[in-house]
């Protein structure tokens, strides 16, 4: 997905986020939860747990996508990003308030937090590497060289 692309395509990422968080044509992931996790569902417990796990992963990926989007957007796109983030918060709050009893969701939420922490650490490390590479002196060429081309025993 675009979350793992380097660099990510802003258009593809925003299209995926819009389709997940700001659905207009399709009903979106929360409708699946209402139907299959709501009162009176005929879905088995295994299917319900599987849906909770998948929804946790959707939320994880959406949050990561929002974080990436916030770093690659222009100032004109901030209102659009804020709208997506607001919709994410509504979905997350609704999902947590209705289905928080499941350990799989809690695990996914912990995973989201760990991913956020890791992403921040990676960004910090990348910034530190940039500082080191831009301030390091250029290597000095050596006289004489080495290797097979300078070896008198090597066939030419």
pLDDT tens digits along 66-121: 999 999 999 999 999 999 999 999 888 888 877 755 566 677 767 767 777 887 78
In a domain, 60, yes or no: yes
In a domain, 144, yes or no: no
Q: Considering its fold, how many domains does the chain have in total?
A: 1
- Separation CA 112–CA 81 (nearest Å): 19
In a domain, 82, yes or no: yes
Q: Which residues of 86-121 are buried (b: 16+ CB within 10 A; e: fewer)?
A: ebbeebbeebeeebeebebbeebbeebeebeeebee
So what's the pLDDT on residue 9? 85
Q: What is the CATH number of the domain that holds 78?
A: 1.20.58.740
Domain span holding position 65: 2-135
In a domain, 148, yes or no: no
Q: Is 81 exposed, middle or buried (0-12, 13-18, 19+ CB in 10 A)?
A: middle
Cβ contacts of residue 81 below 8 Å, gap of 6+? 66, 69, 70, 73
- What is the per-residue DSSP string for 5-24? SSSPPHHHHHHHHHHHHS-S
Are the C-beta atoms of residues 17 and 65 closer than 8 Å to each other? yes
In a domain, 92, yes or no: yes
| Tens-digit pLDDT profile for residues 118-131 | 877 887 888 788 77
| Tens-digit pLDDT profile for residues 11-66 | 888 888 888 888 776 677 888 888 888 888 888 988 888 888 888 888 888 988 99
Are the C-beta atoms of residues 68 and 13 closer than 8 Å to each other? yes
- The two tokens of residue 142 are 């050596």
So what's the pLDDT on residue 104? 62
In a domain, 38, yes or no: yes
In a domain, 155, yes or no: no
- On the question of pLDDT at 151 being above 70, the answer is no
In a domain, 45, yes or no: yes
């Amino acid at each position: 997905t675009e979350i793992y692309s380097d660099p990510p395509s802003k258009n593809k990422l925003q299209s995926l986020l819009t389709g997940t968080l700001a659905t207009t044509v399709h009903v979106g992931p929360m409708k699946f939860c209402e139907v299959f996790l709501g009162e009176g569902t005929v879905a088995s417990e295994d299917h319900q747990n599987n849906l909770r796990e998948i929804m946790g992963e959707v939320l994880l990926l959406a949050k990561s996508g929002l974080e990436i989007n916030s770093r690659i957007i222009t100032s004109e796109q901030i209102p659009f990003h804020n709208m997506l983030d607001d919709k994410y918060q509504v979905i997350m709050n609704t999902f947590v308030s209705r289905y928080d009893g499941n350990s799989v969701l809690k695990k996914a939420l912990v995973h989201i937090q760990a991913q956020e922490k890791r992403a921040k650490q990676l960004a910090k490390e990348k910034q530190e590497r940039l500082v080191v590479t831009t301030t390091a002196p250029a290597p000095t060429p050596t006289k004489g060289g080495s290797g097979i081309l300078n070896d008198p025993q090597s066939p030419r």
